[in-house]
Structure 1
Amino acid sequence: MRAGRRGRRTDPRGHWFLVAIAALLTTGALLLNGFAHNVVGETHAPPAAGEERSAELDQVRSGGPVVNASGPRPRSLRSAARTVALTFDDGPDPKWTPRILDVLRRHGAKATFFVVGAHVAEHPGLTRRILAEGHELGSHTYTHADLAGTAPWRTRLEMSLTQKVLAGTTGVHTRLARLPYSSSPSAVGSAQLAAMRALGDEGYLVALTDLDSRDWSRPAVARMVADTLPHRGRGAVVMFHDAGGDRSRTLAAVDALLDALDRKGYAATTLTKAVGLPSAHTPAGGGERVIGGALAAAQRISAAFTGSLGWILSAAGVLTLARLAFFVSLAWVHARRTRRRRPENTPRRRRDRAPVWPAPPPVSVIVPAYNEEAGIEATVRSLVTTDYPGQVEVLVVDDGSSDRTAEIAASLGLPGVRVIRQPNGGKPSALNTGIAEAAHDILVMVDGDTVFEPSTIGNLVQPLADPSVGAVSGNTKVGNRRGMVGRWQHIEYVIGFNLDRRAFDLLGCMATVPGAIGAFRRQALLSAGGVSLDTLAEDTDLTMAICRAGWRVVYEERARAWTEAPTSLRQLWRQRYRWCYGTLQAMWKHRGAVLERGPFGRRCLGYLTLFQVILPLLAPVVDIMAVYSVAVADPLPVVAVWAGFVTAQALSGWYALRLDGERASALWVLPLQQFVYRQLMYLVVIQSVATAVLGVRLRWHTVRREGTFSTSKNLENVPGDVEPVFAEAPSKR
């Protein structure tokens, strides 16, 4: 797409619906995974039985371990003599359940597994193995929630989801249930009795236990065997666990118990057989199987998504911190090397001296301008009042402005200033016109809303004394930084732009010489084919082309230009949308550089792809994860991680501000930047990527100028440390 080409605006809008759907699916996956692992919900610790007394409680406490609480009065059953019903709670577990099944098969024993529905969904094959080997399934709720402390709707939900997932994975339902945190009938309290009645009304038989191994407390194997071995030929329901931690002692205790039962002539069987009831399994309908299969698949997908997301976000965090540390280190090296190589310094070795011009070369300054009447006078005057000793030609190329830009520039009557008018063709067209009309081979490009310091031109063209340097990036500063949006951009320019450019200078992979301030050798521009109209980021496109042509592109922090930044979030959005979309265009246009020799392609394009595209696309998920973790888990780790990142950014920001001679007090807005500005920037990336993928034609987005540097009134809005820049400028018209 050509930046200067006119066409119908077709900015995409429907993709925001897709973004919302993706956010909802991400949130849904996190909530489902959290619910399945008992993170979401109002689960409470089990209440103690205490001294509660009632006729129903007395009847349950004095009865057997299998309770039917559906009638007016609870009824219970006991195991037959010399019959043990082995029961296992909390599974299936991929590590311990198979080993327990192997022990049971070796002894020819059967058991009842009270499974957690979420674990069934995660391990459907293991659940089917339990059923295929003749064992029995019971419900232990979907999330191991304490039904004695949950609302009725939650109890129904827990049991219903478990039945559905059993239907989807095994094709059966079960009539058996066991309350999490329950034990023997003597420990039943009124809250548990109420939960048992609710289950009874749903058609469940509630299983308690006669002998509890208490293996969750990890007693000795001999103790567990002694506690679970019936005496005097009595039958018993025995409770173990096949999940929830290290079950190596449980495994050994089950093996030893079965040996002891064999010696004493006991039979180890399922719970329903032990109490003389038919099988607890009933066939599930086709609809239930489909719904259950979908539920199990959704949970597995959410678990895989959450797990992979955790790894991805960890990697992103490590990469972000590593990038900060690496770039700060490179900036330190760059600062030391730059100070050592400056011509005014006296190096110990001659070869450390930077090349210098034998005489100041003449310079042509090109100012492309479209509707810049608010600031064009300040821009031109700052260029004319330079202290550069060589000849300076200023070309103001009016690109079909509909305001008084050209008239104001021409009326100044300043020496060396020429105004060129042309029909509107876009900024690249205006720059190419200026290049063609320029009288000199050293070309400086500056935006119409930017002012130079008196020393800027001299500092900017100095690195071009090295014949291998084709372009020089200057140091762009935000002039209107009094408002919050301006302060955020000031921080971004210093940390995100200028700190990076120091690193890119050392790595030989400068991505952008900003349109606000840059110097070029005419030969480098010609080798790159001039300023292309192919993208909306003509400065990035041009810089990449110059690098691919074999020229060095360097950064000169002393060459400072003060630019007017957008003053509202809407204006900022328009500007960054164009920048980001244009950068994507430039990356795609120069993708072949990855296969070329030299460091530029792999370093620059790889960095931009990872840190300017992929990580920002993941940023919304980071925020969703943070909000989710604060809402349903311990917020302290999230706050600690966030504080750590902000601290790391603050430290790097302090150093970047120090390198630029800026006040560190500007960092107070950095924490606030994480809650508005950051989200705006990653939404810009999402919008830009969607626009690029959909192949939508994007027009040039203009930003309304406030005229920050045009009047003395507006100069009052410039920070105090910026005002000396304009002290030597002529009075404004």
Structure 2
Amino acid sequence: MSWANSWLIAITGYAILLAWPISTLVLVWFAVRYNGTHRAKVINKAVAGGDGRPQHFWVIVPALNEEAVVANTVNAALRLRGPAGTLARVLVVDDGSDDRTPEVLSAIDHPRLSVMRRELPNARQGKGEALNAAYRFISERTAEAGVSPERVVIGIIDGDGQGSENILVEVSRLMRDTKVGAVQVQVRIRNRNKLLGAVQDLEFGAIVDACQNLRDVLDTVGLGGNGQFSRLSTLQALGSAPWSSCLVEDLELGLRMHLGGVSIRYTSRSSVTQQAVVDVRRLTRQRTRWAQGNMQCAQYLMRLFSSRRIARTALAEMLHYLLSPWANAMVTVAIIVMGASGTAGLLIGHPVPFLPTWAVLAESGAIWIAVTTFPGLLWAVVHRNKRGDEGLSRMLVAALAYPAFLVLGLAATYRALGRQASGRQSWAKTERLVEEPILQPVAA
């Protein structure tokens, strides 16, 4: 290897080494300074004086073999109240379940609960198609009742999801601004008593929360699969099938809304909780699906570049989000090349300039370990200060495990590249854990 190539690899390594902790420091500073509830004074005035507050709420629960959790999810959704006691109607889409999900649902007798049973061959064509069927059902009911679609909000709560008591009130507050077409609430992990659950809550409760708050400022908030709320009129503007067959149909929906000039807000004042995936193999499978879905959304890059509705700063953030799986893959290759070239040089007696001795190699490894551990420790402190529902020592332990969590994510990225290249799209469902039952609310 030439000296020029050796120094190029060294410079690349140092750039990679410094980029992550520096970007983390900036994001942590923002997370500490920004309370996540207001974008700007002009937006606050629009919220305070707007007349777009919704009057009707529907909560869609997509269910495929959710016998372990669907009763709790439905009962929790039926308890949700909006402003002035407005009650949500719940629509469960049973997407061809072959476990006891139909029996569990039939045992819930409540006037505000509707169950849509989809049978094969129409069933099991992806979460997006199940949501589209529910959306069309709600559109028909809304038209029959003579209600304006602008006053109707559709929320998505996954089969294992449970919304906080104030979730409809907070969504309604933000949607008083008529420019707001959708709201994404914070996502938290319920079963964080185990290490993998705690690490995932560190991710959602601190890191993702800070990123979404930054996007809220830039008006680039992304929709998540759980805890998204959209005006019916906003969805209708996207046609009869707002959700696609993309593996991350929520991300694609958010991109289509932004391209259409729709404003999406994020709030951490309310939240939806979900179960952590506490098995490494299943967690890798989940993250592979997410990474592959991001790759599929790369088809929107040219439309984002050419859009006149998206500011340059907002465009930069969107591109970062869409390109991150590809960037992660390339960074991993660079790290492997650096380590392999340095080690090989020492073994054959021709060390490269940036790793002249085994001692320097060991020091470099120690620095890399410190750098990869540092961001997680910062986020543990942020999580403790902002959430306050977990001890600092527990979050610090989760932070120490965070680098391994990132390695798992890199492995998932490469699996996603392979699946995307081979055209594989099918996925096994994420298994749920049985929880203590939630009592059914009194009919009202």
Structure 2 length-normalised TM: 0.82
Contact 1:366 / 1:445 at 8 angstroms: preserved in 2?
yes
Aligned to 1:608: 321
Structure 1's 609 and 536: CA in aligned 2 closer, same or farther, altered over 3 A? closer
Q: Counterparts of 1:160-559 in structure 2 under 5 Å?
A: 299-300=1-2, 303-335=3-35, 338=38, 351=45, 354-355=48-49, 361-388=55-82, 389-423=85-119, 424=123, 425-438=125-138, 439=141, 441-510=152-221, 512-529=222-239, 530-559=241-270
Cα displacement (A) at 1:577: 1.0
Cα displacement (A) at 1:385: 1.4
Aligned to 1:19: none
1:647 is aligned to 2:374? yes
Cα displacement (A) at 1:555: 0.6
Aligned to 2:413: 685
Contact 1:575 / 1:701 at 8 angstroms: preserved in 2?
no
Structure 1's 465 and 478: CA in aligned 2 closer, same or farther, altered over 3 A? same
Deviations 1:46-69 (A, max 9, x none): xxxxxxxxxxxxxxxxxxxxxxxx
Give the distance between the partners of 1:372 and 1:684, measured in 2 at CA.
25
**AA aligned opposite 2:31:** A
Structure 1's 632 and 705: CA in aligned 2 closer, same or farther, altered over 3 A? same
Give the distance between the partners of 2:22 and 2:128, measured in 1 at CA.
37
Structure 1's 421 and 315: CA in aligned 2 closer, same or farther, altered over 3 A? same
Contact 2:47 / 2:175 at 8 angstroms: preserved in 1?
no
Give the distance between the partners of 1:508 and 1:595, measured in 2 at CA.
17
Give the distance between the partners of 1:450 and 1:350, measured in 2 at CA.
29
Aligned to 2:349: none
Give unpaired runs (5+ residues) of structure 2: 143-151, 344-354
Aligned to 2:352: none
Contact 2:46 / 2:176 at 8 angstroms: preserved in 1?
no
Contact 1:591 / 1:605 at 8 angstroms: preserved in 2?
no
1:669 is aligned to 2:395? no
Cα displacement (A) at 1:678: 1.7
Give the distance between the partners of 2:334 and 2:302, measured in 1 at CA.
28
Q: Counterparts of 1:578-727 in structure 2 under 5 Å?
A: 578-597=289-308, 598-599=310-311, 602-619=315-332, 621-622=334-335, 625=338, 628=343, 632-634=358-360, 635-663=362-390, 664-665=392-393, 666-674=395-403, 676-692=404-420, 694-707=421-434, 710-711=435-436
Cα displacement (A) at 1:544: 0.7
Deviations 1:317-343 (A, max 9, x none): 3332332233233334541763997xx
Match of 1:374, SS? Answer: coil
Structure 1's 630 and 651: CA in aligned 2 closer, same or farther, altered over 3 A? farther
Contact 1:630 / 1:638 at 8 angstroms: preserved in 2?
no
Cα displacement (A) at 1:645: 4.5
Q: After alignment, is 318-327 or 568-577 more displaced?
A: 318-327
Cα displacement (A) at 1:391: 3.1
Deviations 1:91-130 (A, max 9, x none): xxxxxxxxxxxxxxxxxxxxxxxxxxxxxxxxxxxxxxxx
Q: Which has the higher helix share?
A: 2
Cα displacement (A) at 1:359: 6.6
Cα displacement (A) at 1:482: 1.8
Give the distance between the partners of 1:353 and 1:566, measured in 2 at CA.
37
Give unpaired runs (5+ residues) of structure 1: 1-298, 342-346, 713-725
Deviations 1:406-434 (A, max 9, x none): 33123211230100111213211111111
Contact 2:190 / 2:276 at 8 angstroms: preserved in 1?
yes
Match of 1:643, SS? Answer: helix
In terms of Rg, which structure is larger?
1
Cα displacement (A) at 1:448: 0.7
Structure 1's 652 and 670: CA in aligned 2 closer, same or farther, altered over 3 A? closer
Aligned to 1:162: none
Match of 2:38, SS? Answer: helix
Match of 1:335, SS? Answer: coil
How many residues are paired up? 406
Contact 1:371 / 1:401 at 8 angstroms: preserved in 2?
yes
Deviations 1:220-265 (A, max 9, x none): xxxxxxxxxxxxxxxxxxxxxxxxxxxxxxxxxxxxxxxxxxxxxx
Structure 1 length-normalised TM: 0.51
Give the distance between the partners of 1:449 and 1:320, measured in 2 at CA.
33
Match of 1:535, SS? Answer: coil
**AA aligned opposite 2:225:** G
Give the distance between the partners of 2:249 and 2:185, measured in 1 at CA.
16
Higher relative contact order (CA 8 A, sep 6+): 2
Structure 1's 426 and 413: CA in aligned 2 closer, same or farther, altered over 3 A? same
Task: Say what the alpha-carbon RMSD is for the aligned residues.
Answer: 3.0
Structure 1's 321 and 448: CA in aligned 2 closer, same or farther, altered over 3 A? same
**AA aligned opposite 2:311:** P
